[in-house]
Structure 1
Amino acid sequence: MPLFWRIFALNAVVLVAATALLLWAPVTVSVPVVFTEAVVLLGGLVVMLVANAVLLQVGLAPLERLSRRMATVDLLRPGQRLPIAGQGGVSHLIRAFNDMLARLEAERAASSTRALSAQEAERRRIAQELHDEVGQSLTAVLLELIRGAERADDPDLRADLRHAQETTRESLDEVRRMARRLRPGVLDDLGLVSALTALATEMSIHTGLAIHHSFQPGLPALDEQTELVIYRVAQEALTNVARHADATRVEIILRHDEGVVALRIRDDGRGLGVSQEGAGIRGMRERALLVGATIDLGAAPAGGAEVNLLVPLQRNGA
């Protein structure tokens, strides 16, 4: 039933009931109206208004549900749909809204794929330039400083050159770390488990966090994009822990079971609290959507925060 006729029918029910009550009820109206008759009329009016409000509330409930969903929908959490009942105007509106959500999710997934692919290509290019151009230049400077220190006769000059050597060596190491963060070569060469192990070791050394990892052996073969998504989610989660969690211990678990590969990162920090999701967390959600994965963030059982990434293996042909 269209919305117009539904509202009309609800009001008609109230009016018909009121008319029938006036026709068959032993109630009359005097001129002028006496007090008892006014009380009866006002009571009937209140009953009509309450009945009309209740019936309209029932009739417009689907629109209220649609309004709430429109206000809270998040395209990074796909699959949020309203149930469709009947074939009326409201049902058509809800069906159109669900179809619109499906199109928006598909378009966002496609645009995110293009954006993240371009981002990874740019990261690969910058990492290559850092390694080949900046790294080689710093290496050449370091060699010149070493030769200069060996030939220098002045002890003060030799000490200054050796200090410059240490500064240049530290800069070279930092450039190499930046290149690895931008594009982990170990992921391409040795696979996901080795890349996660290297990531945990490097983060532990440079942040002081005690990072414990447990990787289940026999991990199924994953495509390049899926491995990169898992690695980037782990990298972003560990970065968030180091920056914001005030934690001392982090646990990384990678396992596979019942058609999924699961990554869990748990810390003993101060938890997520009531803060809004930042760009890092939303970036993790966008990456998870690229491979049809789901990601949940919540409180860890013993305090702190926990990130769970579930990647379905069906996409990878397993």
Structure 2
Amino acid sequence: MDDRVAGGAAQRAVHLPRTPAQALFRRLVLINGLVFTIGTLVLAFSPATISAPIVLAEVPVLLIGLAVMLGANALLLRRSLAPLDALTALMQRVDLLRTGDRLSDGGNSDLTHLIGTFNSMLDRLEAERSASSGHALAAQEGERRRIARELHDEIGQSLTVVLLGLKRVVDRAPDDLREELHGVQEIVRASLDEVRQVARRLRPGVLEDLGLHSALNALAADVSQMSGVKVLRSVQPDLPPLGSDVELVLYRIAQESLTNIARHAHAEHAEVSLQAEDGRLVLRIADDGQGGARQDGAGIRGMRERALLIGARLSVDSPPGVGTCVRLDIPDPANRSATS
């Protein structure tokens, strides 16, 4: 019984795959052994001879042979270890919000397992990041809807009641107080309008009621009215059918982009374009402002997270003094949906 157990363990040990470290060690040993074996054979069968003690004329031959052996060894080792440099560079630049950056194995069988394991790790991290972002954004949208509903139903209605009460007071007030009450009336009316605008930004009711085309037109009109930036709109009328998740992502990215333009770009003109191109849907928001956005702020990173939810790719081009262009490419938009 003990012999069979020992034999089975030995058989399993024989078939265990080599670890990446063992495979790399084996390759280095083989390379060095091959180089020194070739050098020994050349020395043994060549007409060159080595005297004892060494003659001065034989020193250049030995130095040349040593240089050739070291050069061949360095070249073979460099080719074998080259994927490690590429792997290190990928580790330094990897960003889970910029997906698809992977390293090919390059035919190096000893490092294929290491490279494949790292690529699989990136796949898992990107999937987990996308899922967690989806849950967080879904909770955020739910909270936005709740706050918008409370603003509209409670604060908005309370301000409306106050406004109506002020109107009755103004009608019965003496002339010397009427002008002051009119000023209070205008303040309350402005506050009511602002509450309604905040509620619309938090919960785009026009998107749910009238669709993406009308929602983008209303968004552009609101930004133009509030900031003075002239926003041109170019939305293709016969867009393919889109899911509610895709429409919400498109609207939120356009909203964030236009908000950034109004606050930071110092632009005079902006353009919102939504077109179907070669089987994909392209949203483009551009301005003629100062540009020069070098790092992704919280707003741009939030847009990248939303883009990942529907398998889209977001790019931001912002050369100094030329303006900024935000582009969202959605492949096969009809079959995209966000992670819920």
TM-score by length of 2: 0.85
- Pair 1:127 & 2:148 matched: yes
Matching residue's letter, 1:306: C
| C-alpha distance in structure 1 between counterparts of 2:38 and 2:183, whole Å | 97
Aligned to 2:216: 196
Residue aligning to 1:61: 82
Which SS does the other structure have where 1:251 is aligned? strand
Residue of structure 2 aligned with 1:95, choices 110, 116, 119: 116
1:178-257 equivalences in 2 (<5 Å): 178-257=198-277
Report how many residues are paired. Answer: 313
3-state SS, counterpart of residue 28 of structure 1: coil
- Could you tell me whether the CA contact under 8 Å between 2:80 and 2:108 is conserved in 1? no
Tell which has more relative contact order, 1 or 2 (C-alpha 8 A, sep 6+): 2
What does residue 292 of structure 1 align with? 311
What is the identity, as a one-letter code, of the residue corresponding to 1:235? Answer: Q
The residue type equivalent to 2:48 in the other structure is P
Amino acid of the structure 2 residue aligned with 1:120:
E
Secondary structure in structure 2 of the residue aligned to 1:74: coil
Match of 2:193 among 158, 173, 177: 173
Counterpart Cα distance in 2 of 1:35 and 1:280: 74
Q: Which runs of 5+ in 2 are unaligned?
A: 1-17
Q: How far apart are residue 40 of structure 1 and its match?
A: 4.6
Give, in whole Å, the separation in 2 of the partners of 1:249 and 1:187. Answer: 24
Give the Cα–Cα distance (whole angstroms) in 2 for the partners of residues 36 and 152 of structure 1: 121
Structure 2 letter corresponding to 1:294: R
Q: Is the 8 A contact 1:291 1:315 kept in 2?
A: no
Aligned residue for 1:83, secondary structure, equals coil
What are the Cα deviations for residues 17-39 of structure 1, in whole angstroms up to 9, with x where unaligned?
332343335242554x5655555
Amino acid at match of 1:285: R
Structure 1 residues 248, 14: closer, same or farther in 2, change over 3 A?
same
Q: Residues 105 and 115 of structure 2 are in contact (CA less than 8 Å); yes or no, is this contact kept in structure 1?
A: yes
1: CA distance, partners of 2:51 / 2:126 = 63
Aligned pairs for 1:258-269 within 5 A: 258-269=278-289
Q: Which moved more, 1:255-264 or 1:219-228?
A: 255-264
Residue in structure 2 matching 1:282, options 301, 306, 309: 301
Length-normalised TM-score, structure 1: 0.90
Q: Within 2, Cα distance between the matches of 1:20 and 1:250?
A: 75
Matched residues in 1 for 2:314 and 2:109: separation? 37
> Please, which runs of 5 or more residues in structure 1 have no aligned partner?
none
Residues 75 and 104 in structure 1, CA contact (< 8 A), matched pair in contact too: yes
Compare 199-208 and 99-108 and name the one that shifted more. 99-108
Matched, 1:49 2:35: no
Identity %: 53
Residue 100 of structure 1 and its aligned partner are, at CA, apart by 1.4
Q: Is the 8 A contact 2:257 2:326 kept in 1?
A: yes
CA distance in 2 between counterparts of 1:49 and 1:158 reads: 99
1:115, CA displacement in angstroms?
0.7
RMSD (Å), alpha carbons:
2.3
Alpha-carbon distance, 1:234 to partner? 0.4
